[in-house]
Amino acid sequence: MQIIESRIEINAPKKLVWDVLIDFEQYHQWNPFTPKIVCDFIVGNPVKLYVDMKQNGKTSIQKEDLLWIKNEESIAWGITSYFPVRTERAQILESLGPEKTAYSTYDKFWGILVPVVMWGYRKDIQKGFDAVGVGLKSHCEKLFKGQ
């Protein structure tokens, strides 16, 4: 198994960050790595991710399954049905106080093709995850200050 992860602290309440995190229709406003997600929030159902791997405006569609959603805490999706590679991508919030939230994300990879995936995409995925954190932080902090 391989893991790629990222974490950032956001100066905004956890509920506000959660509301932004699950508002998939507005991802284009702040998320340069996955500017669009289509999901019905039913565990086991498909999640369609529009991933901009190089953050250059060119997206590809990644189809995964919703693994879990825990209100105001975490959401995860992954590739569950492919033998060569399986994944689990989670986005997790932790309250650090009334006006401070930690955002962390990880993607776990299993399967015989993981070394190939890591060789070809590890740096882009890490860069993307870090950009998601920075974008979420900036967007949430602007919203919080504007309230």
Query: In total, how many domains does the chain have?
Result: 1
CATH number of the domain that residue 92 is part of: 3.30.530.20
pLDDT tier at 146, thresholds 50, 70, 90: confident
CB–CB of 3/123 below 8 Å? no
Region of residue 94 (phi > 0: left; psi between -120 and 50: alpha; otherwise: beta): beta
Percent share of the chain, pLDDT over 70:
99
Domain of residue 38: give its range: 2-145
Measure the CA–CA gap between 19 and 140, rounded to whole angstroms: 10
Q: Is the pTM value of this prediction over 0.75?
A: yes
